[in-house]
Amino acid sequence: MKGILLLFQFMTRLPIPVKVEYDADEVGKSMKFFPVVGVIIGGILWGAYLVLSKYINNPYAIASLVVLLEIILTGGLHLDGLADTFDGIFSYRSKHRMLEIMKDSRLGSNGALALIIYFILKISLIVEVGFAIILIMPVIARLNSVLNAAIGPYARATGMGKSIVEHTNAIGVLISTVLTSLYVYFIGWHFGEFELGLRLLAIIPLVMLPGAYFAKLMDRKIGGVTGDTLGAVLEMTEILVIFFAAIIL
């Protein structure tokens, strides 16, 4: 329980009634439950949509506000990782220099471009697919972060993501996958029927394949994964979830 509370405390800006002292090892050991954080975030986003839809008619305005709320809930932590990763990787420098660029707090042109494309795609796809997708989008996305942490070695000597990578293994991925699959199927069953649940389940392997490739790509580019790349794969997976939903549904 302590580890799960630390995940919420470290990975979100949600108010936690119990203050837990930070323990890097506990966060790492609890990473397999990271999709649970996505369940809560997805539920809050869905509740916000239900309220906003009563007062706002424009779906793009609603989608924009929902995306803004998600940023507030996470403190922009994973988006920062997305921007830093694109700044580093697309600098086409040495591994060492890429890692230095990723650590730089300043936003570069590649990171800015990545964020612009990200927001355009995310808002447009949510409107296209339907807002119910926000219930499963953050859950499956966090599963891919767990997968990346298990596949890739940690690229730095030290860092906030080191304990996560060191304590995440195949068993952790299996637990995360089972939890995610049960939840995704339940959402499909709740909103439709047996067939819809199966269709939604198909999204999971479809996004895990490019997720695994991303971890291998980072290994070649910078020698492994970092906290930034774990955030980047989470955000990119959210786009993939909505994209594949648009095709499957």
Please provide the DSSP assignment of 183-196 as one string.
HHHHHHHHHS-HHH
For the cut 90, the answer to whether the pLDDT of residue 8 exceeds it is: yes
Q: Say if 247 falls within a structural domain.
A: no
Using one digit for the tens of pLDDT, what is the confidence trace for 48-78?
A: 999 999 999 999 999 999 999 999 999 999 9
Count structural domains, the chain: 1
Considering the domain boundaries, does residue 248 fall inside one? no
Which residues is 154 bridged to in the sheet?
A: 225
Which residue segment(s) compose the domain that 223 sits in? Answer: 2-242
109-146 per-position pLDDT tens digit: 999 999 999 999 999 999 999 999 999 999 999 999 99
Our CA dihedral for 65, 136, 8, 146, rounded to 10 degrees, sits at: -130
Contact between residue 24 and residue 11 where contact means Cβ atoms under 8 Å apart: no
Decide if pLDDT at 19 tops 90: no
Range 21-28 average pLDDT: 88
Is the residue at 109 inside a domain? yes
Q: Is residue 249 part of a domain?
A: no
Query: Distance between CA 39 and CA 165 in Å, rounded?
Result: 22
Give the pLDDT of residue 201. 97
